[in-house]
Structure 1
Amino acid sequence: MSELHPPISPPSSPASGEAGPLPGWRVYRRRWAILLLFCLYSMTNAFQWIQYAIINNIVARYWNVSAATVDWLSMVYMVVYVPLIFPATWLIDKKGLRVPILLGSFGTMLAAWIKIGNAIGFLIPPAIVQDSQDLDEIGHDLSIMFYGQAAITSALFIIIIFVFQNEPKLPPSPGQAALKVAEPQSYGASILRLFKNYSFVLLVITYGINVGIFYGISTLLGQIVLAQFPGANEDAGRIGLVIVATGLVGSILCGIWLDKTHRFKITTVLVYILSVAGMLAFTFTLPLGHISVVYITSGLLGFFMTGYLPLGFEFAAEITYPEPEATTSGLLNASAQVFGIVLTITGGSLMSAYDEQACNLLYAATLVLGVILTAIIKEDLRRQRAHETHSDGVKLESTRMRETERN
């Protein structure tokens, strides 16, 4: 683990709400195990969100329903997210992470078992469930996928019970240490303050647009690819995997860049502009008939569009500090679900009335709007100022201790 920073007594400020000296802080290696568990839990949850959309044509034939009906198996995830995010973030605010994670993991496991009776969610369904005219064969393939989900989510739930911690013994940074001693704030008051923050409201909209389009593309991807490449179910799944995999790389690189430069707004605007470029490249290379080119352009789209996700979360944490990050991220995700529903329905309707090109152009135009709104967000880096203030307190305390030792 890293060096332990001792408690300090920073200059008091009535506006800060600090009730006493800051506790020490430390970054624990165990955080990587907790992060891995959370990623695996999120992966199994996202798998169940997207698994039917990527094999839309097969599922529609098996259950004898329309493509739009299958799309709703993805969109219902977004619909229930919006009202449930408020009790979920309230629970995080009151109980910490462990209880909500346990409930969420249990629900994911339960859903997997009931069905028996994101990157992998794109890749595995087309590989397992083959596009066959024999409905019994499709049913057998689906049952294999369902049993596999149930086994994995059950094992993960058991691991989370014994391994996942509510929080580390000491906070990981000066900013988080300050929050530990701050006066408790009511959840409702925090929500009201956030909606009075003009820059945050703009970010909620722009984040919702970007991620909502990602959800729309994810839901409609199978139909978009098959419209140009009939029978390419597995290619559609692999293209979805490329979008997520390159997005993972983009997320990591954007996070490293922010950590080194702290240039939140310019980075967010630039990545948003490049998301527009990626969307246009994907749109205009799709009809060319070369699926290898689509793999490349979808990778560019994923790199920037998915890479935007951590930028939105970090930018929100900066401009809303010291509001709880669970609340701000929850509101961002709620916005993404709302935009995802609207853009999926609208995109699907355009595909039915015209073609996939009309759907993709709508998404590109909407992203341009997102760029414009992002550009007018005020960059008020409150968390960075708090970090600098308390880091200065550490330096003063260290100097005072050395002088005391010499005397």
Structure 2
Amino acid sequence: MDLKHSASGAVESADSYIASSKSTDMITPKDKESKENNKSANAPAEGYKVYARRWAVLILFVFYSASNAMQWIQYTIINNIITRYYGISDKWVDWTSMIYMILYIPLIFPGSWFLDKVGLRITALVGIVGTCIGAWIKVFSVDPSLFYVSFIGQSIVALAQVCILSLPARLAAVWFGPDQVSSATSVGVFGNQLGVAVGFVLPPMLVPNSEDINQVGSDLQMMFYLVAGLTSILLVLMAIFFQDRPPTPPSAAQEESQRLEGMVEEQVSFLQSLKNLMTNRNFIFLLLSYGINVGVFYAISTLLNPVVLKYYPGHEVDTGRIGLSIVLAGMLGSVVSGIVLDKTHKFKETTLAVYALSMVGMWIFTFTLDTGHIAVVYLTASLLGFFMTGYLPVGFEFGAELTFPEPEGTSSGLLNASAQTFGICFTLFYSELFYSYGDVPANVAMALMLIVGTAITAATRSDLRRQNAQVAPCAAAVNP
């Protein structure tokens, strides 16, 4: 798609900056030598530009991502209500969450290849179409004998997430300058967290635990219609407004990436890119540590309903709100982490600090569930969420740094695949421990896993390749 001009034909406003500057202030090099150093086929001579429309693209992506993520936990957060209405076991309800993880794993490689070949816009449109279709199928599943229809709809929505989870780092790199890319990634991940937050709080509010089974069916119908209508609106907005890339690259690193894409003799095949990533020792360490952290979060989120109701029976709405507290605190943690990364560029140090504090938060959460005061659970769950879900964009950005110039979508996809794999294993393991021995052994096992992850993070070297690519043009400009 040709994005060299806005739809109206008018010149679009943009912030321009010199690649060697640590700021995105509007600075224009004045001497001829600076112009020559910054000149390229894709970037204007006066410097790199970031376009105002980048925020519209990012915000639209946030809501698109949220519309898919909100359906992940839609059933498990009202586990006891779903099992009673459809007459199924707890395990089947758990599978409505795990299907997201299971389907993602085999599709991550074709999904990453698809993103590299067709770009952001087409990939995002495929994702929103799938999310919308799956949501509408659920509308026709409201009958105690039609759980399989609901599961089919959930599976289609889960398939669509392949066209979502790998996009934040790619979108940030394509549209944002070097001093905003980490913050933009955190905002992109924020969309997924926003959806999970809505998925925690909305179902218990819309589908209360009524004794009348027909009333439960009517409430489910209302919830499904609401979600389907929202995704339909987003489908129209995405088709009209979501764009692939700006007219010119926003940074030296992105210019170099686009230059390599345009040179057939220097293009690296998708399989070669995968080989490069899988032989990168530091990235392998990050794959393991990232998978452990996010896998623990998936397990806790999936089993949150029975864990909280064990100590606080009848508090289904509070269970959803506790989940909401976890995710809202994680959103704040994501934003704070993104700002810290943009200001300090201390990727290894920030990653290790956030990971270690996630582990501490898990221990605190484990031994405060039985205090008898549900307000304490709100507090400790929020502390856990601030660091555990706040780690998501940090891991994405650290991965992009360790693997540059490999496509951000591929590295992000592998990180998500690792998270889904650990998520499946940890959810099954956590469920078995919880139903057989109780919540304390299950939570202690997860806390021990986070200790392992912290140690792996500490062993990962800080090889900041993307930062070095930003510095290289600066050195060339100073020493031509």
- The normalised TM-score by structure 2 is 0.79
2:208 is matched with 130
2:122 is matched with 99
CA RMSD of aligned residues (A): 1.6
Deviation string for 1:82-111 (max 9, x for gaps)?
111111111111111011100000000000
- Aligned with residue 251 of structure 1, among 334, 359, 364: 334
- How far apart are residue 132 of structure 1 and its match? 1.6
Report the CA distance shift for 1:97/1:219 in structure 2 as closer, same or farther (over 3 A).
same
Q: Which sits farther off after the overlay, 43-52 or 384-393?
A: 384-393
1:87 is matched with 110
CA contact (8 A) 1:322 1:383 kept: yes
1:178 is matched with 256
Matched, 1:56 2:76: no
Please give the residue correspondences for 1:197-236 in structure 2 after superposition, counting only pairs within 5 Å. Answer: 197-236=280-319
Matched, 1:112 2:146: no
Q: What CA distance in whole angstroms lies between the structure 1 residues aligned with 2:397 and 2:229?
A: 34
Q: What CA distance in whole angstroms lies between the structure 1 residues aligned with 2:479 and 2:134?
A: 54
Q: What CA distance in whole angstroms lies between the structure 1 residues aligned with 2:474 and 2:302?
A: 45
Give the secondary-structure state (helix, strand or coil) at the position aligned to 2:72: helix
Q: What CA distance in whole angstroms lies between the structure 2 residues aligned with 1:202 and 1:343?
A: 19
- Aligned with residue 366 of structure 1, among 449, 455, 462: 449
Q: What CA distance in whole angstroms lies between the structure 2 residues aligned with 1:234 and 1:375?
A: 39
Give the secondary-structure state (helix, strand or coil) at the position aligned to 1:285: coil
- Aligned with residue 121 of structure 1, among 195, 199, 211: 199
Matched, 1:190 2:273: yes
Give the secondary-structure state (helix, strand or coil) at the position aligned to 2:70: helix
CA contact (8 A) 2:305 2:316 kept: yes
CA contact (8 A) 2:135 2:224 kept: yes
Q: Which sits farther off after the overlay, 388-397 or 35-44?
A: 388-397
1:154 is matched with 232
Q: What CA distance in whole angstroms lies between the structure 2 residues aligned with 1:323 and 1:312?
A: 16
2:16 is matched with 3
Q: Quick one: percent identity of the two aligned structures?
A: 50
Q: What CA distance in whole angstroms lies between the structure 2 residues aligned with 1:296 and 1:57?
A: 24
- How far apart are residue 22 of structure 1 and its match? 6.4
Runs of 4+ in 1 over 2 A off after TM superposition: 4-11, 20-25, 391-397
Question: What runs of 5+ residues in structure 1 fail to find an aligned partner?
Answer: 12-19, 398-407
- The normalised TM-score by structure 1 is 0.93
- How far apart are residue 23 of structure 1 and its match? 2.7
Please give the residue correspondences for 1:336-375 in structure 2 after superposition, counting only pairs within 5 Å. Answer: 336-375=419-458
- Aligned with residue 383 of structure 1, among 445, 458, 466: 466
Tell me the number of residue pairs that the alignment of Structure 1 and Structure 2 aligns. Answer: 389
For residue 228 of structure 2, what is the amino acid of its counterpart? A
For residue 43 of structure 2, what is the amino acid of its counterpart? P
- How far apart are residue 391 of structure 1 and its match? 2.9
Give the secondary-structure state (helix, strand or coil) at the position aligned to 1:131: coil
For residue 117 of structure 2, what is the amino acid of its counterpart? K
Q: What CA distance in whole angstroms lies between the structure 1 residues aligned with 2:199 and 2:53?
A: 28
CA contact (8 A) 1:22 1:178 kept: no
2:88 is matched with 65
CA contact (8 A) 1:8 1:394 kept: no
Question: What runs of 5+ residues in structure 2 fail to find an aligned partner?
Answer: 1-13, 19-28, 141-195, 261-265
Give the secondary-structure state (helix, strand or coil) at the position aligned to 1:271: helix
Higher share in helix: 1
